Amino acid sequence: MDPRASRGGDFLVLGSGIAGLLSADKLSRLGRVTLVTKKDAAESNTNYAQGGIAAVMSELDTFAAHGRDTLVAGAGLCDESIVRLTVAEAPRRVRELQAMGVRFSQRESIVDLGLEAGHSHRRILHAGDITGREIERALVASVRRNRRVTIVENHLAVDLILDPERACRGAYVMDRRTGRIEPFSAGATVLATGGAGKVYLYTTNPDIATGDGMAMAWRAGAAMANMEFVQFHPTCLYHPQAKSFLLSEALRGEGGQLILKNGARFMPRYHRRRELAPRDIVARAIDSELKRTGDECVFLDMTHLRRKFLKARFPNIYARVLSFDIDMAERPIPVVPAAHFFCGGVRTDAWARTSVARLFAVGETACTGLHGANRLASNSLLEACVFAHRLAEHLASPGAIKSSSAFRPKPWNPGQAVTSDEAVVVSQNWDEIRSLMWNYVGIVRTDKRLARALSRMELLNREIAAYYWDFLPTPDMVELRNIADVATLVIKSALRRKESRGLHYTLDYPRRRQSCRRDTVLRRAPGRR
């Protein structure tokens, strides 16, 4: 279908991961939906999720236990009401996925529940070790069959459209192939653009994870919360030819042990739950051991488990690691931490509403209050399911969108911008930002490093802004602008938190402080470019 046929609609959904696809499917029952995705519909962070989705599905488990595990991982910053409603809705949302065609792994005709770090019970539904891919497959197929949803692929949102009352009325969207930018109008706009792992030099995220929704919401004046809490996955494959390959938490859930190159285990020295400690603790322990020993990596040892079990439980991981000449049944796997998940984002309420009228956010783009200072493993896919459903419930209620005068967005105005002949500016700044964030705003921080990072980012932001307004935007330029905005938000938020809590660990304030038990909220001053 010609995308020009879908320039207007009742709902505009930006992003095609689990949050975007479920939102589009549910909103289609209320009106016409346009779903915009910057690559193809199946390319998303969801597609790379290996572990699974957490839900109480066993008589041996309880909502109270799932909620308690979430609160413990969140280090005192979770919104308890959000935690309660999320874990209580989980079984219904799982059954909904199954009804849409998602095939979770079974054992003896019963759904196979896995165990992951931070969980006190087996409650992780998975599809082997490619859960995200299986969910994405089923949802993409469902949405493509839906005649009330128009999917516009290879289009990138540039900025949100605001009316004179500062309500969101859609977005300006770029055709990646032609560079043409046009307004897509909507009665309600949903940000489901995923995370921002590409802000860091090393990440488990795909190349699309450039924080687009977070940056656009920030520029539109939306409140941003807890951007300092960036989760580093403890185990990313360390190999010169491997690009961002995640080794699932489930490996440790099934008995994997972290060792040094001399074979010694080290996690017992850091936490009573050893390899099943929360992710922030495991990632910091690995970082500490690497700094102490000077080694380039640690190792994940699965060799005490049977090959037959490893190949059956982790077929994708087993094959992928074997492609690098590492047989995980015979050799420990070299691993390092890598940026993985943003617990902060666009601040939302229990119905996915942001502080900007007519603008909603779901999935990793949003900060719902579920994760607090550290996400419990496999709660992210669950969060996307729950809040896509609640978003649709809210918009189905009378008066959810206040009526106002008709609004026709203006065409995109390039001003005096010309085609750039200095694209090296983009690649140079892209590399510098990601290195700066890795070196100064990583797993362990200090005020001195953060101040140094902020000073440099302020210079880079001025250079990027000048370049953006002087030259016609390209997809790379749009993404650079977004990672610069997100990087700045992370640094400023980290500087405000004068304690160590969850994923934010600073040598200057190594203890948790009760006086700091509050969200870090930033909002851009109106009128700033």
Give the DSSP letter string of 317-352. HHHHHHTTT--TTTSPEEEEEEEEEES-EEE--TTS
- Name the DSSP class of 376: P
Alpha helices in 361-474 (DSSP H): 379-396, 424-440, 447-470
By the 8 A CB rule, do 88 and 385 touch?
no
- Tell how strand 359-361 and strand 181-185 pair up: unpaired
Strand order in the sheet with 521-522: 366-367, 345-347, 224-225, 521-522
In the set 279, 313, 320, 390, the catalytic residue is: 279
Buried b (16+ CB within 10 A) or exposed e, 352-384: bbbbbbbbbbbbbbbbbbbbbbbbbbbbbbbbb
Q: Dihedral sign for Cα 267, 270, 274, 277, please.
A: negative
Helix (H, G, I), strand (E, B) or coil at 31: coil
By the 8 A CB rule, do 299 and 335 touch?
yes
By the 8 A CB rule, do 13 and 23 touch?
yes
Catalytic annotation present for 279: yes
The size of the chain, in residues, is 529
> 508-514 contacts: CB < 8 A, separation 24 or more?
508/446, 508/447, 512/75, 512/76
Give the contacts of 3 (CB within 8 A, at least 6 positions apart): 150, 152, 155, 175
Which are the catalytic amino acids?
A: 279
